[in-house]
Structures are given as C-alpha cells and as structure tokens.
Structure 1
Amino acid sequence: MRPGILLPAALLCLPFQMSGQVREVVLEGETFRKTADGLRLAELNRGTRVVVRRTDGSWAEVDIEGWVPSAAIAASTREGHNGLIATRGGEPLRDEPSGPVTGLLLEGFLVDRVEDREEWSRVRRTGWVRDAALGAPATSFAPPESEVGRPPPLVAPGSEITAGEAALVLYAAPEGRTIVTVETGTPVTVVERRSGWTRVRVEGWAPSEQLVTADPDSVVAGVSAAALRANPDDYAGARLRWAVQFLSLERAEPERIDFYEGEPFLLARAPDPGDGLVYVAVPAQLLAAAEDLRPLQTLDILVQVRTGRSALMGVPVLDLLAIF
C-alpha cells in the first residue's frame, strides 16, 4: 500500500486480528519505545491490550492499535509509515472513537493509518515495551471484572518488599538507561515514590577486586547541551558537572511528559549560552536550596541526564544531584 492511500474499510482486519499473543499492560504509564531500551514514542495506560510479536531478553516487541482524531495526523512517508502525530504535546490514543484513553502518543510519533471513520482514524504501530510490564496471555479481549480500575499497590518508603513474579529491571532514572536486572524474590527497600515510579535500594555482595573507588572520572566531561539534544539515547543516565545560569524555579505542567506533574525544576541557561536552555529537575531534599537561588545566579551543579531532548520542547532534562 502506497503511503497516504487508505484501504476501504471492508478490506481491513478487525482490531488485533494480527499474528501474535494478546497481553495487557499491567503497569500504569509503561513506555512504548522504538527499539528495546530505545527512543520513547508513547506512554501506555494500565489495561491497554497489545499483540506480542516476539520477546528478546527482558523486552517484548508489540503492536499497539487505537483511534485518534483525523486532524491530529499529518501525512508522512518517513520510515515506511503514512502518518505522524502533529498535536503539540502529543495526542491521546483511544480504544474506539471518543472512547476510553489507552495511552499518549508523543508529538512526531509515526503511525500506520489504516482506517478513517468520520472525524477519527484508526492507527497502528510496532514498538517495544518491557516484558515485565505485560500480564499473562489474554484468553479474551475483556479484562477480568476484578481487575478493572484496580490501582497498582502503594508501598510506603522504608518498606522491604521482594521482586515479583518477573525479574525487576532497574533504571538509572525514570525512562533512563537500564543499569541492572534483579532476580525474582530478591529483597529491595523502597526509598521514594513518584507518579508511577518507585526508587528502591538493593543490597548484595561483590568480589572486592571487581570494585573501583568512585572518583571524578565517573563524571562525563566535555558534553554540551547541543550534544545531548543531538544524541539523547547515548547520554541517558550520564553524570555531568556543569556551570549554568539560573533563571527561575518552575513546576511542571501535565503536558510536560518528561516530568512528573507538579515536579519542581530549574529553568537555566546551558554552559554555552548558544546552546539555549536546560531543565533541571529538583529532588525534595534540594528544594529548599533551590528556593533560595537568585535569578541570573551562576550555579556549579552535578546532574544526571534524564533525557537529552524533551518531548515537548526538545530541551535537555537533567536530575539535580548536588549544588556546589
């Protein structure tokens, strides 16, 4: 089928009549990626049905499908897809026209547009999610009544829990690079909870000869904001020590999907003024110090890269680790 040409509705397959295993997302806000542990494309709600094509280690290649307003799709021929999401800040994906929201497709998300129905279009896309985020194979498309609307369990900071039925994947930061996989049944301690993510601590033993003392070499030197924007996947989770100019302390609006809603962040100028702005997310333990900063003050900060290019503005988002 040539890009931009739609098949008659009568010739189209019904939703999810594709080869593969139907499974449901069991974690709220699971990230749908272009490749395993790669570029973020969308966020999927708990209960969203996907069709699993194959698994590769801790990742699963899946098809997602749903409906978006036709006006939200611009024509495209990139990478063999015939449309892209043109809505600023992204567009909700729905299981039927005007139906419940199943996820959020980020702005620029490439789609296969397979059907038009009045002011709505059915779209499909293949990508990757964590296999641990998917439930057991579905025997029907409808979730069990006992599962509908059930929120994920809340675990208070300081609680000791264990990794569940699937291996637990730990990330350097929310949506950051994978750092370790924890085996089923391993005790972990909850440190902090933030909008769908939980920071945990794991203890264990390692041979002494395999350990090195942390030193300044663990901080990546010579990385500019322009480099982060150009190669966001290469620097996810990297630590940088930068001198930035503080402009203001802000709170993230809901459309800033690289943040948690209401999360405080510093609006600052990058070390090289020609590189534009950067956003520096502020953890609770450093918020008081951030509130005392003066506009145009130069800061020497240690940060960790959350993303080199935010979905909304294309600006690097960093996690503040220390102010010197």
Structure 2
Amino acid sequence: MKVMVLVKASPSSEAGKMPSHELLQAMGNFNQQLVDAGIMESGEGLKPSSEGYRVRFSGAKRTVTQGPFVETNELLAGYWIWNVSSMDEALEWAKKCPNTMEEDSDLEIRPFFTMEDFADIDSGGEIAEQEQAMQHTMALQQSTLNNYLFFSGRCEEALDYYQQHLGAKINILMRFSDSPDPMPEGMLAPGFENKVMHCEFTLGDSKVLASDGCGDGSKLSGFSLALTVATEADANRVFAALAKDGEVTMPLEETFWSPLYGQVTDQFGMAWMVMLPGEAPQTKSN
C-alpha cells in the first residue's frame, strides 16, 4: 500500500530556522534506511508558508492569499511517499524517524486511494481505464531516450578522436571479452573479442551510447534508439507496441546489465532497445 507521511510544521520551521548539521545528518541516515528497505518513493522538505500561496474556491470565484498562514498546527513542513506492506509497517518506520523539529513535533500517515476504492462508483471501469492510460503516459514521460551508435569495429578509434577533438568523456566501457556470459558461437566476427561491446560517453550535455557491433566494417553501420522505462509492465507494453508489424531482434529477457532488455525494429524500420534501469557495469579502461 502507498502512504503519504506528512511532517507537520512547528514554530521553528515556520520561522524558517534551518536544521542543525546533526539533524540533517540523522535525517539523511534515516532516508538511506528507507531507500535500502525499498519503501521510499519520494520525500521533500517544504519552505515556510510565508513563501507559499493559497487559492480558495467558492463556486466560480477564486481568491488567492499569500502566506504566512497562522494556524501552524495545520501546516506542513515536508512529506514522504512510502510503499509499504501495511499501515503497521508504516507506523514502525515512522517511530524510527528522528524528531524533525527542535520542539515537539508530529508525523501524520495517510493511505492513498486506489481505483479499487471507487469500484462502486466506476462500475463500468471507464474511469479506471482512463487512469491506467494516464499512468502509462506519465511513466513514458519519465523515461529516457538515448542514441545508440554502431561503429563496425572502429568504436575505440572514434572514442579516442572524440576525446581529443571534442572533449568527450568516457563513463563506461566494456569489451566483449569482459562479458560474464559467453557469446553465442558464430555471433562475433573474428578478432572482435576485444572490441567494444558497450560504452557510454558524454559530449557536452548529452549522453551517447555506442558499440562496435558484432561484425566488421569500415564505417558507421547504423544506430538504435535506447529507451529506458521504469517498470516491467511498461517495458512489455512498449516492446509489444514496437514489435507489432515489426521484427524482434532479441526478445525481452534478463541480462547481466539490465533486469529486462530487448531489441526490436518497428514497422517503420527504426531500431529500438527497450530496457529497465540496472546497476551500471564496472567501467573499464581503454
């Protein structure tokens, strides 16, 4: 279940008093525990209400009021969003939280509504379907898209050139010989064992992904668009859409660099790599 943990404001937070170094460190350690436990989705502190506004609704009328607001016990100083197994688990974590204020303070825990709570109202499921479509749209808006270049055996030469003349910075470089899984027989061209299997480099403010590919050549052989999405459901849905009337080069499956990764060429001839984020492989030197 998803809950919001509300940090109630206090006279010191409303006065804009910053936390001590000790409290900031303690809160950082607590947040790290939440992240390590896999329950924290987000969390932020809020500036005093003196820097905020309220919009009051009365029929068609809208009235804007600038802070500060006087009812301190009703104001918020921050929040977390946790994904927990039960309210009991949320309470156990809340009791471990350092006191967020220099005076007595309160945390309030509120569960989120889910579409199941509106089942009686949305008996036909139209609103639930709309909500699901909206969630898919938001998930893709948060995905990342990078160009993936294939240099047909000249990737390292290109990297050296880009470093020298364009100020490129190599972040990750892996050779086929670094793969913990043996390459399928006949997949690599002879002499490609030490060629670049995958690398990431930055050029200006952009990240570029590149490889030698598996076959020899004298020039750039093509590119793919590498799409990283957040969840397995998003990966499956996007991959299926791209594969419709297209061609699957590599089905979605677990790899040593990603929990789920696949390659597909869509019906328009565009090559795609769809993947879930995974732990970055160890960087290798040239």
The two structures have a TM-score, normalised by structure 2, of 0.23
Higher strand share: 1
State the structure with more CA Rg.
2
The two structures have a TM-score, normalised by structure 1, of 0.21
